[in-house]
Structure formats: structure tokens, C-alpha cells
């Protein structure tokens, strides 16, 4: 997982207490980072109202974090080598706490986005480094235990986030969804100081960095996400801003590709995608990221806008998908040794697709109960898909390239989430307008039934102005419900589209131990 030398002997059977403290630090850091991906989802309506953001602008609060994570995750291995693992993690945690405070004190959308981008850059570094700690501080015989602990936090973080943010919003204040990181961060710093040895920095490697690739990642992915987020609102290429952002994104990707040939060690080894199995795994991981992050964002929004749920109630529904994850996590090493990887991944993806399909029969009267079955199924699908895809990815490459594979896989999953959130904003704008117009067109003013209905409403509500306002509200509710149905349908079809790629996967070695990777 990392070029950092292992600190345990290959013959050592049991790690000492300081090694487990280091693992605990890595796991806690990964939990804090993944938790903050979705901690704003259920409390988003409240936050939007207080900072003056619209519904589509609100997606930036989640997207900004994911995009920053996508950029930093592939850089983490290099930054570990430059600064030393403990120094790098201490700096990342300290900055993460600082940016969390910026979010907590935010009173405007730009200030919140700056804080979220900073959280993503620093929190994203805590995810792959947790696996580095497991690989370097635990003997091989105990690495599956560390991997199971880490895997549970990595998958549960986005699930637990909405209910944590929802409870704090309803019982204290949404600000404390970010202030929560202060005590957690202090505990993490203490664990790092006790459990991690100091390593000498190698600042000379700054000169050997793939700066073309680094800049390409920042401008390419950043520009692309802004174009997807703002394109609909800015009328796409009729806007000079969108045109320039597109040019910036294209130039960024050109720099990224140039770095593949000019840099001694590219920041991302895109050549790995030429491997049939690894390329397939990356595409499937992108689809899984779209499903996990897309649904954890969309469900709370539906429950708040249509069902009238508060932040805590929405978070409890999202949390349901974590129940099967917790129950199944202890059995994942046995499942990985016993099941054919192609069947397991196909099963996981199919369950994810079905769970999204179940949500296409929503109505304006739907409540959280309509999501119970689909959320439980989503938890089962997530654990089968991601745990087996992790194993397939690491088995696809040599040991020396494992950290590069981990960076690409993590980046692909987060990219899927970012694309899902950006796509949701675009689809929501377009389909809400379309469904509203179609409903209005079906209600002719000359229709006797419509006239009788409006007369009855006017009599009940005290006049025609109130009746028309009530009708407009009903149309918007119906159109918004249909829009959410479209979103779940698209997620379902997107997952089904990548299922045939399981045919490119190779079986795992029989009786082999699960490898450490996220």
C-alpha cells in the first residue's frame, strides 16, 4: 500500500499496543473523513436557509468536499514520503479541524464552500493513509482484522453522517455537525503522537513531483465539476464562464495525460486502466459511488421536501442501510475466501440496482416507510460490491503498484459520487420544469372538471387567489415527486449498465487471505 517500510517483522505474530493505537488513529481519521462527506445531507434544508443558498446551490456543500478528496487521495502516498507519515497526518488533522471551524461559523455560501473544500483536501488524506498504517504496523496475520475495522468505518461513514448531522441540527444546531470534529480531532492527534513513530522528512522529493499531473487533477476535475453544477443555471455554452471553465478543464486533463509520459513517477498511473480487470473495477466502483452518494443525498431531500421530515427523521432512514453492513462485516473475510468474485460483485450490483428501482414508485404521500426495504437492500449490495471490488483491484496489479491502484479506486468512487451530485442538480432543474409544464398543460381552463374543482377550492379557502396558490403548490409537489422518481430510475439503469463488466474479473486465489486495501 505504501513505500513506507513496514515496522513489524514478517515473523511477528502479534502487534504491540502502540501498533494498535496507530491503527485506531487511522480508523478514527478515516471515519471522521467519510462521516463529513454526508453529514450535511439531512440538515441541508436548514443550512441552505441560514446561509442563503438555493436547492441546486446546496449540492455544492457535498460536491466541493468530494472533488477536493478526489484530488488529494492520489497525492497522499507521495505526501507521506515527502513529510513522513506522522507529520503528514498531524498536519492534515490540524487543518481539518481548522476548516471544520470555518464551516461551523459560516454565514454565507462562499464561506461554507471554502470550508468544505478545505475539509475535503485534508480529510481525504486520512482515508488512504489509514490503510498504509494497517499495512506497515500490523503483521500479515492480523491485517485482515485491521482491514475489517477500516472497511466498516469507510462504508458506514456516509451512512452514519446524515443521522449524526440530523440529530445535532434538531437538538442543538447544525453548526455542531462541524464543531463535532474538534474533540474527535484532538483525540486523533493524541493517538497519533502515542502510536506513530516520527519519520524524517524527504523534502528533496518535492522537486521530483509530477506537478503537471497535480495541476491537471486540480483544474481538470475541478473545472469539470463546476461545469456540470453550474451549466444548467448558466445556460451551458451560451455563458462565457462555462466556456472558459470547459477550456480550463480540458487543459487540466491534457496536463494530467502529459504527466504520464514526462514524469518519472506520475501522480496517477493511468496506464493501470489498460488492464482489463482493473479498468472494469474502476468503472464499476464509479457506478457504486454514484449509487451510494447519490441516494444518501437524494433520500433526505425527498423526505424533507415531500414528506415533511426533519433532519433527524431523514437521517434515521438513511442509517438503515448501515444495519446489514454492521451485521455482515465480521463475515467478510470468510465471504471473500468462499465466494466467486464475479458472482459476488454481480449480486452486489444487482441488489443496488433493485434497491434504486424500488424507489421509482414513490408518490406525494410516501413517507420514510417507503425506503425501508430499499435501504436494507442497499446496505447488502454495498458490502458485496465494494469489498469484492477492493480485492479485485489490488489483485490486478503488482505489489509495487498497490498504492497507485488504491488511489485510482478511491478516486473513481468519489468521482462517481461527485458526478451523481452534479447530475442530480442538472436533472432536478430540467425535469422539475418539464413535469410542471406537462401537468399544467393537462389542466385546461375550459375543462368543466377543472372549473368545478377550482370553484370548490375557492369556496373552501376563501377566494380564488388562495385556490390558485394551493393548486400551484400541488403541481410543484407532484412535479418534484416525479423528478425524484426520474433520479432513482437513472441510478438504477446506470448500475445495470456496468454489471456485464464482472465477466472481465478473474477469480481470487482459493484460500487466499483478504488483502489490505480500501
The contacts of residue 480 (CB under 8 Å, 6+ apart) are 305, 306, 432, 435
What is the distance between the alpha carbons of residues 295 and 293, in angstroms, rounded to a whole number?
Answer: 6
SS3 letters for 76-95? HHHHHHHHCHHHHHHHHHHH
Q: Are 479 and 436 in contact (CB under 8 A)?
A: yes
The contacts of residue 210 (CB under 8 Å, 6+ apart) are 259, 263, 264, 265, 266, 267
CB atoms under 10 Å from CB of 273, counted, come to 16
Q: What is the pLDDT of residue 6?
A: 41
Q: What is the pLDDT of residue 158?
A: 72
Q: What is the pLDDT of residue 250?
A: 92
Do 1-208 and 271-518 fold alike per CATH?
A: yes
Q: What is the pLDDT of residue 247?
A: 93
User: C-alpha cell of 170?
Assistant: 434538531
Q: Which of 69, 64, 422, 363 is nearest to 229 (CA)?
A: 422
Q: Are 76 and 123 in contact (CB under 8 A)?
A: no
Exposure of 363 by Cβ count < 10 A (0-12 exposed, 13-18 middle, 19+ buried)?
A: exposed
Task: Find the length of the chain.
Answer: 518
Q: Which of 28, 126, 14, 15 is nearest to 68 (CA)?
A: 126
Each residue's pLDDT tens digit, 31-85: 888 788 777 776 777 887 788 776 666 667 777 887 787 778 777 777 877 888 8
Each residue's pLDDT tens digit, 407-439: 777 778 877 877 887 788 788 888 888 888 888
* H-only helix segments in 205-340: 211-230, 240-262, 276-305, 311-319, 322-328, 332-338
Q: What is the pLDDT of residue 142?
A: 67
CB atoms under 10 Å from CB of 338, counted, come to 11
Intervals of the chain under pLDDT 50: 1-12, 516-518
Q: What is the pLDDT of residue 230?
A: 73
Exposure of 115 by Cβ count < 10 A (0-12 exposed, 13-18 middle, 19+ buried)?
A: buried
CATH number of 1-208: 1.20.1250.20
Distances from the Cα of 507 to the Cαs of 228, 272, 400, in angstroms?
37, 19, 21
CB atoms under 10 Å from CB of 200, counted, come to 8
Q: What is the pLDDT of residue 3?
A: 39
Scan for cell 466556456, then name that residue: 243
Ramachandran region, residue 308 (left: φ > 0; alpha: ψ -120 to 50; beta: rest) = left
Q: What is the pLDDT of residue 353?
A: 94
First to last CA, the chain: 10
pTM: 0.76
Q: What is the pLDDT of residue 374?
A: 92
Q: What is the pLDDT of residue 345?
A: 92
The domain spans of the chain are 1-208, 210-266, 271-518
Q: What is the pLDDT of residue 212?
A: 86
User: C-alpha cell of 305?
Assistant: 421536501
The CATH fold assigned to 271-518 is Growth Hormone; Chain: A; (1.20.1250)
Scan for cell 519519520, then name that residue: 199
Amino acid at each position: 500500500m505504501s513505500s513506507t517500510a513496514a515496522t513489524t517483522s514478517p515473523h511477528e505474530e502479534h502487534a504491540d499496543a502502540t501498533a494498535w493505537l496507530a491503527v485506531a488513529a487511522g480508523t478514527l481519521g478515516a471515519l471522521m473523513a467519510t462521516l463529513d462527506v454526508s453529514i450535511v445531507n439531512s440538515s441541508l434544508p436548514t443550512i441552505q436557509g441560514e446561509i442563503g443558498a438555493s436547492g441546486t446551490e446546496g449540492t455544492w456543500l457535498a460536491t466541493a468536499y468530494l472533488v477536493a478528496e478526489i484530488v488529494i487521495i492520489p497525492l497522499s502516498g507521495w505526501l507521506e514520503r515527502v513529510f513522513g507519515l506522522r507529520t503528514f497526518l498531524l498536519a492534515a488533522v490540524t487543518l481539518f479541524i481548522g476548516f471544520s471551524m470555518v464551516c461551523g461559523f459560516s454565514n454565507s455560501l462562499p464561506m461554507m464552500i471554502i470550508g468544505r473544500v478545505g475539509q475535503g483536501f485534508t480529510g481525504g488524506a486520512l482515508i488512504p493513509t489509514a490503510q498504509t498504517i494497517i499495512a506497515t504496523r500490523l503483521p500479515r496475520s492480523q491485517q485482515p482484522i485491521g482491514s475489517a475495522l477500516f472497511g466498516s468505518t469507510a462504508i458506514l461513514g456516509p451512512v452514519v453522517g446524515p443521522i449524526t448531522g440530523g440529530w445535532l441540527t434538531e437538538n442543538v444546531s447544525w453548526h455542531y455537525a462541524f464543531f463535532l470534529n474538534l474533540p474527535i480531532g484532538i483525540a486523533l492527534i493524541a493517538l497519533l503522537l502515542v502510536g506513530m513513530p516520527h519519520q524524517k522528512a524527504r523534502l528533496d522529493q518535492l522537486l521530483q513531483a509530477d506537478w503537471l499531473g497535480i495541476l491537471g487533477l486540480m483544474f481538470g476535475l475541478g473545472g469539470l465539476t463546476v461545469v456540470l453544477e453550474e451549466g444548467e443555471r448558466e445556460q451551458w455554452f451560451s455563458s462565457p464562464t462555462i466556456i472558459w471553465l470547459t477550456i480550463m478543464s480540458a487543459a487540466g486533463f491534457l496536463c494530467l495525460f502529459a504527466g504520464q509520459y514526462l514524469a518519472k513517477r506520475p501522480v496517477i498511473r493511468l496506464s493501470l486502466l489498460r488492464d482489463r480487470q482493473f479498468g472494469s473495477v474502476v468503472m464499476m466502483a464509479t457506478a457504486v459511488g454514484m449509487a451510494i452518494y447519490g441516494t444518501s443525498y437524494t433520500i433526505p431531500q425527498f423526505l424533507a421536501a415531500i414528506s415533511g421530515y426533519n433532519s433527524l427523521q431523514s437521517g434515521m432512514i438513511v442509517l438503515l442501510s448501515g444495519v446489514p453492513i454492521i451485521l455482515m462485516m465480521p463475515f467478510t473475510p470468510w465471504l471473500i475466501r468462499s465466494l466467486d468474485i464475479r458472482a459476488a460483485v454481480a449480486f452486489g450490483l444487482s441488489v443496488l440496482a433493485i434497491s434504486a428501482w424500488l424507489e421509482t414508485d414513490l408518490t406525494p404521500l410516501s413517507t420514510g416507510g417507503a425506503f425501508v426495504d430499499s435501504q436494507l437492500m442497499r446496505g447488502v449490495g454495498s458490502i458485496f460490491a465494494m469489498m469484492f471490488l477492493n480485492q479485485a483491484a489490488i489483485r490486478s496489479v503488482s505489489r509495487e503498484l498497490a498504492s497507485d491502484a488504491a488511489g485510482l479506486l478511491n478516486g473513481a468512487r468519489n468521482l462517481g459520487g461527485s458526478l451523481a451530485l452534479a447530475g442530480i442538480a442538472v436533472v432536478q432543474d430540467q425535469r422539475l420544469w418539464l413535469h410542471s409544464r406537462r401537468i399544467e398543460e393537462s389542466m385546461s381552463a375550459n375543462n368543466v372538471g377543472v372549473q368545478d374543482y377550482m370553484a370548490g377550492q375557492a369556496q373552501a379557502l376563501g377566494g380564488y387567489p388562495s385556490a390558485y396558490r394551493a393548486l400551484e403548490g400541488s403541481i410543484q409537489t407532484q412535479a418534484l415527486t416525479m423528478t425524484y422518481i426520474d433520479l432513482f430510475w437513472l441510478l438504477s439503469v446506470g448500475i445495470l449498465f456496468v454489471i456485464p463488466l464482472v465477466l472481465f474479473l478473474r477469480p481470487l486465489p482459493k484460500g487466499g487471505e483478504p488483502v489490505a486495501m480500501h
